[in-house]
Each structure stands twice: as C-alpha cells, then as structure tokens.
Structure 1
Amino acid sequence: MLGPEPQDLVYQTIESFETEPDLVILSRISDTIKQTEEKRQAKLDRLQQNISALEEQLAEAKAKLESLNHPSDVLKEQLSSLGKSPLDPNENTFQLMNTKSGELDSMKVALAKELTDIETQINQNHMTKMNLTKRKEELVAQKEQALAASVSENHNSSSMKISLFRSLGVHVDSTERADKIVIFDQKKNQTSVLDVDEKYSDYFISNYIWERL
C-alpha cells in the first residue's frame, strides 16, 4: 500500500505548526515600525519648523546688521550735530559712533581745562578785588586820619589847611580877595568851587572837600 503523497505530507506538517503566536508578534512588530516611523516623521517636521524659524531670525539679524553697517540719514544728521569734524562716508555705524565718541571725549577734556582756567582767573580776580578794596579802605582811613589830625592841630592856620587840601589832590587858587578851592568829581564829571571865607568852619570846609573827592 502506498503512503500519502509528499504534497500532503507538507500540508500536514505546515498545519501542525502553531503560527498564531508568530502572526501576533509580526503584527506587533509592524505596528511598532509604523509608530516609530510616525514619531520620526513628527520629529522631522518639528525640526524643520525650528530650522525655518531660525532661518527667519537669522535673516532679521542680517537685515539689522546691514542697517547698522549702513547708517540712516537720521542717524547721520544726529551724529553730524555732535562735534565739528565731518562724517567719513566709508565708515559704518559703529565706526562713526566710535569716532564721534572720541571727539566728544576730547571736547570734554578741553572744556574741563577751560573751565578750570576760568575758575582760576575768577579766584585771582576775587583776590585782586579784595586786596584793592582793603588798600582803598586803608587809604580812606589814612586820609580821614590826616584830615582830622590837621584840622585839630591847625584850626587857626589857613596856610596849613591849604597845604593839606593840595596833598589830597584839591586845587587851590589864591586871589587877592580870597582863596578858591577847586574840586573835580570824577564820578559826576563836574567841578565844584568853594570860596574860602573866614566864616566857614574847618569842619564845614573839610566835609565839603571830602564829600566831593
């Protein structure tokens, strides 16, 4: 009796295998591959979006840098108003600002020196004024003392009084009738004349002269 056909034996062998677990595993592997591919694609999409955003930022930065390298007319006008030197058309914004900054620093140093010189001159003038004021007060005191001493010591001496008046810069004209005292007031630009008379007291004559010196 002949045995089963080889083909039937093959089918019987295949049917005896447990293929269901393998099919489940293959299905899971397929799902995993699909999910991995989807995640990979999603990540690639996000990366592409980030790259696009970075490219836009880079383009904006380049545009800003380009605008800084080529200063605007408004900026040129503002920089031209600072200092005296003209702008170099070949310099970019940073170079122009550095140039003007250096020029302004030099101007500040020069102004500080000029201010110091002015303050020194003011102090010197103040000291000179104080010295002159003190000297004037001393001369006034000396004149008052000399006038008072002369009047008290020589109240009956006309010649001594005339000599004193002349020493004070008063011009005395002597005539046959009487002596005339001529006083020129520099402040008022006028001349005063007093005829010396015996009826005038020394105090009156002294005050008259002193008020017009």
Structure 2
Amino acid sequence: MSSYPEQSEDLLALLRDTLDGFSIQTDLDALDRISHNLKQLQTNRQTNIKNIQDDLKNLSNQLLTKKNLIDSIIEGETLEDRNAKREEKFKQELELNKNLKEINSTKQELSTNLNELLDEINDLNESYKTISNNSYIEQEDEENQVIILKLSVYKSFGISFDFKNNLIIIFNKKKNLSDFLKLDEEKFSDYFITNYIWDRI
C-alpha cells in the first residue's frame, strides 16, 4: 500500500503533464481574434444601422419635398383658376352692362320715336275728322296724300287706327295677335301709350 506523500507527488506530476499538454498562448491568440471579430461585427452593425437611418432620412426629405412641390402646384393651379374665373366674370359683367346701356338707349330712342308717332297720330286723327266732316277726300290734294302715305307707313309696322271709335290697333305679325287701345276711355300718358305699343309690336 502506497503512502500519502507518494500519492501527492503522483497527483502533482499528473497536473504538470496535463498543463504541459495545453498551449496557453495559442488559446489567448484565439480569444483575441474572437474578441476582435466581435468588435468588428458590432462596428459593422452600427455602421449599417446608421446608413439605413441616413437613407430613411433622405427618403423622408425627398418625400416631403415632392409633397410640398405637389401642394404648391395644386395651390398654384387653384389660384390661377380662381383668377381666370374672376377675370371672366368681370368681362361678363362689363359686357352685360354695355348691353343694358345699349338696350336702354335703344328703348329711349324708340320711345322718342313712338312719342313722335303719337303726335302724328293725333294730327292724323284731327285731319281725318276734318276730312270726314267734309265727306270727301280729294286725292289731288297734297295734304291728304301725305296723310294717306303716313297711314300706310304705320300700317306697315302693324299699327292701324279706328278713328271712328278712337282705337289704336296693334298687330303682332310674329304672334299673329292683335291688341287694342281705346284712347277715350281713360287719359293715358304718352309714356304709357308708347310702352304699350312698343311692347306689342
């Protein structure tokens, strides 16, 4: 049976032999390489993340720029359309005012002409009464010829006269309708009579 000191020596010899079988430097070099690779991977990862973030930021800026450009174009077109509509409306108002002035001027001119016609009608009425009282019409008489001529002109406008009943007869050729205005029932103003005739011829 071996003694305790001998067993201890054997154990120490075994440990020395075991340690002699390991290469400490080689293991340390391997650990250094592993550490270096891990650091490199971490660096690469951070670099990639930063690049991706930068790309996202650039894309975001580009998207915002394009959106602002589109909004600006839309707003610009809307403003242009509004200005065009406003200008067109202004032109239409000017044209309408011009037409209204022309219509009023024409109506005033026609009213004046009709007033003159009414005066002549009164003259013709008096002349007709005079001729009727004399019970004859002398065709050779120049004054009577003028009266007949004027009556023919009025008739061409659709205006005729019933002197016996004090009626003005207005015939509208387009509507094929006749209107009557009796002068002795009421005292009509010249303005009323003028508009009455003008609205119906």
TM-score tier after normalising by the smaller chain length: 0.3 to 0.5
RCO greater where, 1 or 2, for CA within 8 Å and sep 6 or more?
Answer: 2
TM-score of the pair, normalised by structure 1: 0.40
Higher helix share: 2
